[in-house]
Amino acid sequence: MNGIMETIGHYFAYFILAYMVIVISFYAVVMIISVFQLRKEYQLDRDQSFGDYMEDIYTRPVSIIVPAYNEEAGIVQSVRSLLSINYPSFEVIVVNDGSKDGTLEKMIDQYEMQEVQKVVRKQVDCKPIKKIYQSALLPSLYLIDKENGGKADALNAGLNISHYPYICSLDGDSVLERDAFLKVMKPIIDSNEEVIASGGSIRIANGCDIQNGNMIKIGLSNHPLVIMQVIEYLRAFLMGRIGLSRHNLLLIISGAFGVFSKHWVVEAGGYKTDTVGEDMELVVRIHRLIKEKGMNKRIVYVPDPVCWTEVPEDITFLRRQRRRWHRGLFESLWTHRKLTLNPKYGPIGMISFPYFWIVEFLGPIVELSGYLYIIVSLFMGGIYIEFAILIFLLSCLYGSLFSTLAILLEEWSLRKYPKVSHLLKLFLYSLTETIWYRPLTVFWRCQGIWQMLRGEKGWGEMKRKGVSQ
Amino acid sequence: MFHNEIGFLITLTAALVSILLVLLVYLIIRKGLEQVKRSRIEEYKALYNEPVFEFLLTGSFNSSLTIDKNSKREAFESLLSHYSEILEGQDEKENMQRFAEVYLSDYYREKLNSLKWSQRMNALYYIEDFHIKVLEEEIVRFLERKKISKDELVHSLRILAAFQHREFYQLVSEKYNTLTYLEYRTIFARLDDTLFSKFLEGFDELPAPMQYALLDMIGYKKDTRYLAFTEDAFQNNRGEVRIKALKSLAAIGYVQSVDPYLSLLKSPEWQERMLAAKLVGSLREKTALDELTQLLHDPVWWVRSQAGQSVMMFPEGRDVLQKVADNTKDLFARDMAVEWINRGGQRE
């Protein structure tokens, strides 16, 4: 009996170890691709003179859709910041998704919104629209009042109202860089519309000085949870997505900021309302559509930071967010499970999907069992201690060292944080990731899986305090 | 049992952590040095701002100037770059060119040979911005490098176009004739009338992307001297060239005789309907007003929108749209009519 247990124990350890080694090698490859990409553009003074593009930009106007549910705290500032962006032709469509607070009244008051009779071309399904308003001050600002149907539904409603060939979904409380649209539209224009969706880096706004929706000074919060999230975002964007985008393997364009060709979104059927990860699901569906139609289209990611967003500072909200994300990930993968290892879908099916299943989705379970293994081993002694040490060392590589490297990579290439103290702080915190932050998020993600298995519904919205002063 | 592995991993981790620490120290030092350099550049900029501005305006430099430090050079670079964006006058631009040729051309010549792609690109940007014409031959040689990236190639051609290089037409039509339409457009945008006309003379022999770019540029320049050429191009071609020519005619807003274009209001291609609507709007062609109003019922949003805008250009446009808004059962047409009544039609 003991012998069997021991064998199982050993093989389990081997399994965890092998898994970690594979994942680490994968990360390393992706990271190297990113380093080369960043290295090339290192110290380039400017990305492009946009003067040459003005004419094209005029022919590619963008509809910016801002879904708002109980956002009275920040909606007016968000819209104001949007109206000052540097892009020649765009419209802003705020969708009030049946808010219970004063979101609607605030908008009407501030921008003199007046009801207009508009025909709605129902290209994708959405809940009934009650009224449509247009601003008397700014004709390109619309407000839709509709019945509550969730974020995806609100985006669909905005999609139906939008006039322009490109749409951008934007979270209510994000702050855009002034050149954000020029930057993300550039690949679309350059490729002569071979690129049909494009997203940019999201950075964290907590700790920055933002006034009236404009970034005044980049700063770093003192809150450990926020600092860890800064590191996490940097790592995900700098290392993961640049590498993936290079080879058209990108499965996520963050819901916080991305531009899509409306034609393709409509073709794909709009945002899906019964998933919590509508942003990822849409990208996967578009990828699938491209392959099924056999067309040569791409989805890209721009490493330049273009959008600043607020992240939770409170552990409760962070936990909810992570559970929700993990569920969204699963729903997207499950809905499109047919793509997994299906050679018909090319690299998306053969590389991206297995990667997201194995590393992103199942990773937390393996990691969690790794942590449990370490704890149990400490009581068992003997050979188990050695397993435990091995697992711990590997998870240091896996968690901390890659994060630290991401921090250095950012300082080496993009250099957004102005002070030496910022760099030091990020560096030191990133080294501690394996000890506390990583296990926490891994645990939450496993909780997300658990909730899903039990079929729980419902998740809290994030409470925002508003980034703008 | 695992002593070897553990030993290996500990060594690896330790090695990696030390490498990271070294990198950190390097980056911190670099950041510190950079801050020092930054502030030195700012000092130089404050010091030389006035003399440089004075020089750009008058062309005479009082103090004897030597660029002996990198930070000083970068200060000048940044000052000039700033003024290159805001100065419009011909004299000022020539002064800037003179200044850059004297003080910065050697530096950029060196940079063009840098091993780093980004450094070479930066040099190209500044050579174009400051119009450093003494480096013209240098750029021609640069083009002939064995390994040259697409960005460098396009940018070099842009510079030669801006310099109105003597053999530019031959160079582009014979050697560099496989670029994309957008790339040609940024290149052709910099040509003066003489060189531009040379391309128009050879129009029929040029590859399609160049033809598109040339027609686009005509629309952009809105120059009636090219009107006859563009109308011919419209008559004698099919497909994309025809559409592009029509687009430029619509942008110019004038044609010799409107007759050949009226039937386009009923074209099966929506782009043609839209562009024809734009053209008759600019011409305020009375005989087309009815058909134009009909286009408010077009299934394509772009056509409806353009029709609304074009109707508004007529003196009686507002009344026509009002009538549509009051009477039609087509909600889309009504919507568009109301929208343009509200907008007032003055927007291009």
CB nearest B189 (choices: A52, A119, A386): A52
Alpha carbon B232 to chain centroid, angstroms: 26
Task: Express the helix, strand and coil content of chain B in percent, nearest 5 each.
Answer: 80, 0, 20
Residue with tokens 């501690």, as numbered in its chain? A432
Does some domain include residue A426?
Answer: no
Grade residue A19 by pLDDT with cuts at 50, 70 and 90.
very high
Among A80, A314, A308, A327, smallest CA distance to A200 is for A308
CA atoms within 13 A on the CB side of B186: 23
Residue whose tokens read 């019964």: A274
The residue of chain A with its CA nearest to that of B128 is A49
- Mention every residue, 6+ apart, whose C-beta is less than 8 A from residue B82: none
Q: Identify the burial level of A154 via C-beta atoms within 10 angstroms of its C-beta, where 0-12 means exposed, 13-18 middle and 19 or more buried.
A: buried
Q: Considering only CB atoms, which chain A residues are within 8 Å of B119?
A: 43
CA–CA distance, A172 with A77 (Å, rounded to integer): 10
Contact A446, A363 (CB under 8 A): no
CA A194 – CA B123 distance, rounded (Å): 30
| pLDDT value for A56 | 67
B271, two tokens: 């782009």
Top-confidence residue, A197 or A213: A197
pLDDT in tens, B227-263: 999 999 999 998 889 999 999 999 899 999 899 899 9
Work out the minimum CA distance from B232 to partner chain A, whole angstroms.
24
SS (H, E, C) chain A: CHHHHHHHHHHHHHHHHHHHHHHHHHHHHHHHHHHHHHHHCCCCCCCCCHHHHHHHHHCCCEEEEEEECCCCCCHHHHHHHHHCCCCCCEEEEEEEECCCCCHHHHHHHHHCEEECCCCCCCCCCCCCEEEEEEECCCCCEEEEEECCCCHHHHHHHHHHHCCCCEEEEECCCEEECCCHHHHHHHHHHHCCCCEEEEEEEEEECCCCEEECCEEEECCCCCCHHHHHHHHHHHHHHHHHHHHHHHCCCCCCCCCCEEEEEHHHHHHHCCCCCCCCCHHHHHHHHHHHHHHHHCCCCEEEEEEEEEEEECCCCCHHHHHHHHHHHHHHHHHHHHHCHHHCCCHHHHHHHHHHHHHHHHHHHCHHHHHHHHHHHHHHHHHHCCHHHHHHHHHHHHHHHHHHHHHHHHHHHHHHHCCCCCCHHHHHHHHHHHHCCCCCHHHHHHHHHHHHHHHHHCCCCCCCCCCCCCCCC
Beta-carbon contacts of residue A134 (< 8 Å; ≥ 6 apart): A113, A114, A116, A141, A142, A143
Which pairs with CB-CB distance under 8 Å and at least 24 residues apart come from A339-343? A339/A284, A339/A288
Q: B185 and B245 share a domain?
A: yes
- Mark whether B299 and B230 lie in a shared domain: no
Supply the mean pLDDT for chain A: 85
Question: What pLDDT is attached to residue A310?
Answer: 85
Distances in Å between the alpha carbon of B282 and those of A35, B250, B258, B278, B338?
A: 53, 8, 11, 6, 20
* Residues on A contacting B at a C-beta cutoff of 8 Å: 40-46, 49, 52, 55-56, 116-119, 121, 139, 163, 189-190, 192, 383, 386-387, 389-390, 393-394, 396-397, 401, 404-405, 408, 411-412, 415, 420, 423-424, 427, 431
Residues of A within 8 A of B17 (CB-CB) are 401, 431
| A354, B250, B253, B257 from B220: Cα distances, Å | 49, 11, 12, 21
Choose the closest CB to B28 out of A46, A56, A420: A420
Same domain? For B306 and B230 the reply is no
pLDDT given for residue A181 in this prediction? 87
| CA nearest to B115 within chain A | A40
Residue B122: inside a domain: no
Cross-strand bridge partners of residue A170: A257
Q: What is the pLDDT of residue A244?
A: 67
Rounded Cα–Cα distance for residues A166 and A158 (Å): 12
Check if the beta carbon of residue A120 is closer than 8 Å to that of residue A129: yes
Q: Flag whether B235 is in a domain.
A: yes
CA distances from A27 to A260, A406, A456 (A): 28, 11, 33
Handedness of CA B230, B235, B241, B244 (dihedral sign): positive
Contacts of B186 in chain A (CB under 8 A): 52
pLDDT higher than threshold 80 for residue A391:
yes
pLDDT given at position A469:
46
Query: Is B333 within a domain?
Result: yes
Q: Chain A partners of B27 at a C-beta cutoff of 8 Å? A: 408, 411-412, 423
Tell me: do B180 and B251 sit in the same domain: yes
Let me know: does A424 contact A407? Beta carbons within 8 Å.
no
The size of chain B, in residues, is: 348
Tell me how far apart the alpha carbons of residues B40 and A277 are, in angstroms, rounded to a whole number: 49
Q: Do the domain assignments include residue A195?
A: no
Q: Which residue of B has its CA nearest to A405?
A: B20
Q: Determine the structural domain holding residue B224 and report its residue range.
A: 165-256
- CB pair distance less than 8 Å for B181 and A393: no
Please list every residue in chain B whose beta carbon sits closer than 8 Å to the beta carbon of residue A396.
Answer: 13
For residue B134, being part of any structural domain is answered with no
Q: How many CA atoms lie within 13 A of A360 on its CB side?
A: 21
B122 contacts in chain A (CB < 8 Å): 43-45
- Do A44 and B118 lie within an 8 Å CB cutoff? yes
Instruction: Show the domain range for A142.
Output: 48-180
Most A CBs within 10 Å: which of B3, B4, B9, B216, as the mutation test of the A interface? B9
pLDDT at B218: 92
Query: B18: how many CB neighbours lie within 10 A of its CB?
Result: 10
Would you place residue B290 in the very low, low, confident or very high pLDDT band (cuts 50, 70, 90)?
A: very high
Q: Measured between alpha carbons, how far is A181 from B68 in angstroms, rounded to an integer? A: 40
**Average pLDDT, integer, range B149-177:** 93
pLDDT tier, B346 (very low <50, low <70, confident <90, very high otherwise): very low
Cα four-point dihedral sign B120, B123, B125, B128: negative
The whole-angstrom separation of Cα A198 and Cα A205 is 21
pLDDT at residue A230, rounded to an integer? 93
Q: What is the domain count for chain B?
A: 2
ipTM surpasses cut 0.85: no
Helix axes A437-453, A363-380, angle to 10 degrees: 120
Helix or strand (DSSP H, E) at B129: helix B117-129
The reported pLDDT for the residue numbered A242 is 66
pLDDT tens digits, A87-119: 888 999 999 999 999 999 999 999 999 988 777
Distance CA B106, CA A241 (A): 40
Rounded Cα distance between A452 and A329, Å, is 12
Q: Does residue B313 register a pLDDT over 60?
A: yes
Instruction: Name A214's bridge partners.
Output: A211
Domain for residue A118, yes or no? yes
CB contact under 8 A, B6 and A45: no
B28–A192 CB contact, under 8 Å: no
Vertex B328 angle, CA B326 and B332, to 5°: 105
How much is the mean pLDDT over chain B? 90
The beta-carbon neighbor of B6 closest among A117, A139, A386 is: A386
The predicted structure's pLDDT at residue A410 = 87
Residues B42 and B49: their CA atoms lie apart, in Å, by 10
Provide the CATH number for the domain around residue A70. Answer: 3.90.550.10
pLDDT at A460: 45
Answer yes or no: is B292 within a domain: yes
Which positions in chain A touch B338 (Cβ < 8 Å)? 116-117
CA-based nearest distance B62→chain A, Å = 31
Residues in chain A closer than 8 A to B189 (CB atoms):
52
Instruction: Name the band, by pLDDT with cuts 50, 70 and 90, for residue A463.
Output: very low
- CB atoms under 10 Å from CB of B14, counted, come to 10
Apex CA A49: angle with CA A43 and CA A51, to 5°?
Answer: 175
* Cβ pair B10:A42 closer than 8 A: no
Residue A241 pLDDT class (50, 70, 90 cuts): low
Query: Is the pLDDT reported for residue B66 higher than 80?
Result: no
A55 or B111: which leads in pLDDT = B111
pLDDT tier for residue B341 given thresholds of 50, 70 and 90: confident
List the one residue out of A213, A208, A183, A200 whose CA is nearest residue A75. A213
Which residue in B has a C-alpha nearest to residue A121's C-alpha? B332
Tallying the residues shown for chain A, one arrives at 469
Q: Is residue B249 part of a domain?
A: yes
B315: distance to nearest CA of chain A, Å? 23
Sign of CA dihedral A118, A169, A304, A285: negative
Give pLDDT tens digits for B11-45.
Answer: 988 998 999 999 999 999 999 998 999 999 999 99
Q: Tell me whether residue A137 is in a domain.
A: yes
Domains: count for chain A = 1
- First-to-final CA distance of chain B: 79
Give yes or no for a contact between A13 and A387, defined as CB atoms under 8 angstroms apart: yes
Question: Residue range A277-286: average pLDDT?
Answer: 90
CB B335 to CB A117 under 8 A?
Answer: yes
**A118, A393, A423 member nearest B27 (Cβ):** A423
Instruction: Tell whether B210 is covered by a domain.
Output: yes
pLDDT digits (tens, 9 = 90+) for A326-362: 998 999 999 999 999 999 998 889 988 998 899 889 9
Pair (B239, B197) in one structural domain? yes
Instruction: Give the mutation candidate from B117, B126, B147, B190 for the A interface (greatest A CB count, under 10 A).
Output: B117
Can you give the pLDDT at residue A412? 85
State whether B245 and B290 are in the same domain.
Answer: no
CATH number, domain of B226, equals 1.25.10
